[in-house]
Amino acid sequence: MTKIRKKFIAGICFALLFAAAAFPCVCWAVFGEDMEKPKPEFTRQEDKIIAKLIPRGKSTSVQIEFEVLGGKLLEVKGMDFTAAERPEVDIKNFKSALFTVEIGDVSPPGGEAKVSITSQFFTSSTRYDVFNEKLEKPWMNPEIQNLSHPNFVQQLVINVKDGGPFDSDGAVNGKIFFVGGPRDSFWGYALGTLVIRFVGVFLVLGVLMIGMLISGKFFQITDQTPEKPVNAAAPQTPVQTVQTATPAPALTKAASVPEAEIAAAAALAVKMASRDEFAEYETAAAIMTALHLHLFGQCNLSETEGDSEGNEDAETGKPGVRNNRRTVQTSSGWVQQGRGRMMESQSFNRK
């Protein structure tokens, strides 16, 4: 299995785990029990009152602007939905709390006033339902004007008559008590939220996956590229070292064996060699060999091995090999005398 395939499988597993973790949260926010109760904050700007709140299903605040034409806007308050809850309506259709709008100085009494509600939070399909608890059917769906403005601003205009069905006090007194709230289709909101969130999630995961594949391909190419040495050292020519033969030390007598013992051994060997017995000959030969190795074992070897380097044959010009030879220092006089006697004894016995 290649590295890219392993990374691809790991990315798919991560995407599935992320989707599994995000799906319950989204479903709870859309389909679960919505316990959020926004508390609007109201500010007045001349003849307008602006409500600032965080609606259900959003994490950022929105502004809703109230204005009245044909009367005086006295006050706008927030109203909890539980006070107006009825079986025929669902709280999920209302993404914000209800609003109570109090209007005065309606002229003439019993006349109409236009309530203008403007916000970027609204859409072209937003409705504004009105609640009047004094009626048999308290919830009503009035005809409104949904006007579009630049920057995604929507304006809802509702005609409200003093003492009419939309006036909660029911009296013709130049005052209107208007209760209602913006409403959007629940399924449109739910499906839109699901599509937007899941498309966003998979879009982000797709970008991450593409980045992982590109980085994996980059590292794969990098691994296949041979590394060049930063500081390439110059090739060094091998240096041939000429070994000069150190002369062996001159032949010296071992200090551990006195000359008297050496002389005694030589005399014994001569005496044995003078006898006409084969065993005595062998013993004498062994003694002489030992004396020879002791006396001449440390002699200077002029050339111990055949050395073909630097030696050329004088006639052919080809490299030749020197013969091994030893340079033996002249031994002492008593040793030579012992050898002479041994030779004389051997020649005499043979005669």
Q: How does DSSP classify residue 318?
A: S
CA distance 316 to 322: 15
Residues 50, 51, 54, 56, CA torsion sign? negative
Over residues 212-241, the mean pLDDT reads: 70
Q: Rounded to two decimals, what is the model's pTM?
A: 0.48
pLDDT over 90 percentage in the chain: 24
184 three-class SS:
coil
Q: What is the per-residue burial (b if ≥16 Cβ within 10 Å, else e) of 235-266?
A: eeeeeeeeeeeeeeeebeeeeeeeeeebeebb
Run of H or E including 72: strand 72-79
Q: What is the pLDDT of residues 16-63, one digit of tens each?
A: 666 655 555 545 444 444 444 557 899 999 899 999 998 876 778 899
CA distance 102 to 78: 12
**What is the pLDDT, as a whole number, of residue 48?**
94
**What is the pLDDT, as a whole number, of residue 129?**
92
CA distance 50 to 79: 15
